[in-house]
A = this chain, B = another copy of it.
Amino acid sequence: MSTDERLIYLPLGGAGEIGMNAYVYGYGKPGKERLILVDLGVAFPDMDSTPGVDLIMPDISWLRERVDQLEAIFITHGHEDHIGAVSHLYSQLNVPVYARAFTANLARRKMEERGHDPLVVKTVGAWPEVTKLGPFTVGFAPMAHSIPESAGLVIDSPDGRVVHTGDFKLDRTPLVGEAFDPEMWAEIAKPGIKALICDSTNVFSKTPGRSESDLPDEITRLIGEAKGMVAATTFASNVARVKTLADAGTRAGRSVVLLGRAMLRMVEAAKETGVLKNFPTVYSPEEAKDMPRNNLMLITTGSQGERRAASAQMARGKYRGLELKEGDLFLFSSKTIPGNERGVIRIINQFSERGVDVVDDSSGLYHVSGHANGPDLEALHDLLQPAMLVPMHGEHRHLRQHARLGEAKGIPSIVAVNGMMLNLSGNRPSVLEYIDTGRTYLDGSIKIGAMDGVIRDRIRMALNGHLVVTLILDEEDEPLGEPWCDIKGLTDNGSSNAALTEVLEEDLNQFLMRAGAKTLKDDDKLEGELRRIARQSCQNEIGKKPEVTVVISRMR
């Protein structure tokens, strides 16, 4: 082994944000490292910064240029921010995808949907089973989380053992799936952990995290006391919670109905892979319509207020023939992710208008987080005693706070955001170089770059409205008739109480009558002048400068 071989870490997504996880590890001589990719997830668009976009994915240009160095993709668990981009970006990478059975089941469905061979997704067993690829030996060590079969990756390289936690919590009684197993992790730590790459989501939560098993009693009590129809929402992938809700409904003599495509798919995948056992009988919405309303327990998608999900549809009216009414109960067994408040509050108010009683998580009785809190992170640091700590899966503030926890314990720690390539070979993490990273948007059926101006133009049209100016010039470059204006997203009438387009056309025509031959012959100049005058005219009339498209047609 040459001394200049090195172990590198490069986050392409997920470090400096919550979402869109993608972490590269490499081992080898500089520039010749053999690479593996851990997770390839998506983030979700919003109207503020990404209107019209369908999905946000990491920009994997760096990896694509080194695809011959790439051994494989390893997926820690089945949440969209870890698995969601695999099927969209697979054709650029073309390497095997490794995951545990439940995660692999989800990944294969996605691959099939996008027309890829589902068999490129390989199912691997839990630690101590390992997969050897190039210089790496990778094992999936079970971690408790809010989805079944989450795994921390144990990545062995010639430079030592790295633990990449994935998303986790220290739940000893997670109800569905494996408990956090400190003995197993102590065993894994025995040879020494070179570096711990660690989930930072809940680093600001100062009390130890609670267990999924804290919930069934309270949820059962709440549903047991309900008089009318009951509906509850949670993330479909939180199979343990879905089961808790279903069991609580069954105990109250209610028939369970699953609403929303994701809910049905997740329960199906969990049953197929043996993760979910003893789930109550599920009835269809059609069957439910013949049952007494107070004998029903609906479990729905849409805990984040998504407009098209089952919860939002029920809040607006019927969903598959089922409708909540005065005195019914709707439970959010979920936390609202920051940024989704408006959508969730909208649903609560719509239910309020229908007389439906909404119970949310404000009491803390009906939801627990899937991530390790501050004290839990410290407990893991203590258990694994890593030689260095690299916080991941967090915004900058989370990474910074997490690194502080590490430093306070004497563990060399670093805040590494997307694009910072680290050398993990030394005694403490050091920055090797800064890689250009970014975001790729799935927009309709096309992938576009975040910085290519398409979305910027959409935002500008949303803020300023849009004006089209059309002008035809004859063979002598003289205007043929007057310029024509069309508006969209602008008011019809401005301050002078005439039609806005008429005022604009008048102002543009005035300009054209004065314009010299040189201007009229020059497309760029003419377009620039027409745009400038139109914007100024709008400013005068309506106090706004719109986006302008100028179309000049010449007869010559």
Contact = CB atoms under 8 A, between A and B. Distances in A.
Interface of A: 16, 46-48, 51-52, 204, 338-339, 341-342, 345, 348-349, 352-353, 358, 362, 395-397, 400, 443-446, 448, 452, 454-455, 457-459, 461-466, 468, 470, 472, 480-481, 484, 486, 488-491, 493-495, 539, 542-544, 547, 549, 551, 553, 555
Contact of A462 (B51, B358, B395, B396): B51
A125 to B, nearest CB: 39
Given A397-B358, A443-B544, A542-B446, A489 B457 contact: yes
A489 B52 contact: yes
A448 to B, nearest CB: 5
B542 A443 contact: yes
Which of A345, A465, A481 has the most chain B CB within a 10 Å cutoff?
A: A465
Contacts of A349: 16, 395-397
Contacts of A338: 341-342, 345
Contacts of A342: 46, 48, 338-339
Which of A342, A462, A466 has the most chain B CB within a 10 Å cutoff?
A: A462
Given A48-B48, A472-B472, A472-B553, 20 more contacts: A47-B47, A47-B48, A47-B51, A339-B342, A341-B341, A345-B395, A349-B396, A353-B396, A443-B491, A446-B491, A446-B493, A446-B542, A452-B491, A454-B489, A454-B490, A455-B489, A458-B465, A461-B462, A470-B553, A484-B553
Contacts of A458: 461-463, 465, 488-489
Q: 4 closest A-B pairs (Cβ-Cβ)?
A: A445-B543, A444-B543, A444-B544, A462-B462
Contacts of A539: 444
A464 B52 contact: yes
Contact of A486 (B445, B495, B551): B551
Contacts of A459: 51, 462
A49 to B, nearest CB: 8
A363 to B, nearest CB: 9
The binding surface of chain A is classed by DSSP as: mixed
Nearest to A539: B444
A445 B545 CA distance: 11
Contacts of A48: 47-48, 342
23 contacts: A16-B349, A47-B47, A48-B48, A48-B342, A338-B341, A339-B342, A341-B341, A445-B543, A446-B493, A446-B542, A446-B543, A454-B491, A458-B462, A458-B463, A458-B465, A461-B488, A461-B489, A466-B488, A468-B549, A472-B472, A480-B555, A481-B553, A488-B547
A482 B113 CA distance: 39
Contacts of A542: 443-446
A459 B462 CA distance: 6
A46 B465 CA distance: 15
A302 B385 CA distance: 42
A48 B543 CA distance: 22
A459 B489 CA distance: 8
Contacts of A52: 462-465, 489, 544
A62 B117 CA distance: 64
A494 B555 CA distance: 30
A484 B396 CA distance: 47
Contact of A468 (B47, B352, B468): B468
Contact of A446 (B204, B362, B400, B495): B495
A491 B397 contact: no
A472 B345 CA distance: 50
